[in-house]
Amino acid sequence: MEKEFKSGFVSLVGRTNVGKSTLLNNLVKEQVAITANKTQTTRTAIKAIINNKNSQIIITDTPGIHKPKTKLSQTMIDTAFTMLGEVDCILFIIEATSNEIGKGDRRILDKIIESKKPCILIINKVDLVEKESLLALIDIYRKEYDFSSIIPISALNDDSDVVIEEIEKLLPVGPKYYEEDEYTDQTSRQLAEEKIREKALKFLNDEVPHGVYVEVEKFVDRKTSKGEDIIDIDAIIYCLRESHKGIIIGKAGSKLKQISSCARMDLEKMFGVKINLKVWVKVKSDWQENENLINRKFKLK
């Protein structure tokens, strides 16, 4: 007998930097969410759609839980916790390197317990630990909640099939909510902004990258004189201070060139056409406290 088609909504939740976005990209097999070896990389809920033979999974990446210091980071945390209420099942990601339930994980766990929702515990970064410590960690968490399953993985490698199988078990019978070629709810502009920010995170250090946001001012498809497709993108990297601006631009513009040419190469792969990318740097000192901007760009809609 044909299996009944299942579909539903799933949310990834976890502390910052545990590998949620890496796992999302791995599950969707597309670069939907940017990743970085820095905290607070994801700033808003990012939806992705996974199409399987017998199911469609609508999965949302969320900002990592951390101690909030600005209006922006408080909004990010609110987004992550709000998403827990809106899904059929939760994927709680923790790091294999933990040997106890830390403060952040405890906060998340309490919200999951409160939600009473089916939850899969994903223990990520198993490549960094010995098997014995992993078993001890599983034991600690098993006592806290009746997890539907506990899956140790390394999101950097391809461990996605087992995660998809476990999610499918928890989904209700349902329709295909999205067309098969739709894999994210982000617009091309948003994907471009995030890609530029990803390169800024990659090439900048200390507090500079955390104070950056990107605004695409122009995004125009056109034909070159030879008839080739090309997209003109003008973008601005906003930062918190004049000194940061100097660092982002670098000696004779070298750092900005590095950021923009790396972003351009990735965007050309992503969109499959030539990109003409121009990037400027401007200072906007208080943007992380600017409610209008936060509501427009980052708040859960």
Ligand X SMILES: Nc1nc2c(ncn2[C@@H]2O[C@H](COP(=O)(O)OP(=O)(O)OP(=O)(O)O)[C@@H](O)[C@H]2O)c(=O)[nH]1
For ligand X, the binding residues (CB under 6 A) are 14, 16-22, 35-37, 39-42, 63-64, 124-125, 127-128, 154-156
Question: What element of type H or E holds 52?
Answer: none
Give whichever of 8 and 63 is closer to ligand X, judged by the CB atom: 63
Mask: binding to Mg ion, 17-56, rule CB under 5 A, as x and -?
A: ---xx-------------------xx--------------
State how far the Cα of 286 lies from the Cα of 150, in Å rounded to an integer: 42
Least distance from ligand X to the Cβ atom of residue 108, Å: 12
16's contact among Mg ion, ligand X, none, with CB below 5 to 8 A by partner kind, is ligand X
Using Cβ positions, the residue closest to ligand X within the complex turns out to be: 64
Residue with Cβ nearer ligand X (34 or 249): 34
Q: How far apart are CA 200 and CA 44, in angstroms?
A: 18
Long-range CB contacts (within 8 A, 24+) of 77-82: 78/300, 79/44, 79/45, 79/298, 79/299, 79/300, 80/13, 80/45, 81/13, 81/111, 82/300
Whether the CB-CB separation of 10 and 93 falls below 8 Å is answered with no
From ligand X, Mg ion, none, interface partner of 205 (C-beta below 5 to 8 A by class): none
Instruction: Provide the Cα torsion 32, 262, 236, 292; round to 10°.
Output: 20
List the one residue out of 16, 17, 24, 9 whose CA is nearest residue 155.
24
Q: Tell me which of Mg ion, ligand X, none is bound by residue 75, counting a contact when its beta carbon lies within the kind-specific cut-off of 5 to 8 angstroms.
A: none
Quick one: what does residue 273 bind among ligand X, Mg ion, none, with the CB cut-off 5 to 8 Å set by partner type? none
CA 25 → CA 50, 98, 289, distances in Å? 10, 23, 30
Smallest gap from residue 21 Cβ to Mg ion (A): 3
Report what 79 binds from ligand X, Mg ion, none; CB cut-off 5-8 Å by kind: none
Binding site for Mg ion (CB under 5 A): 20-21, 41-42
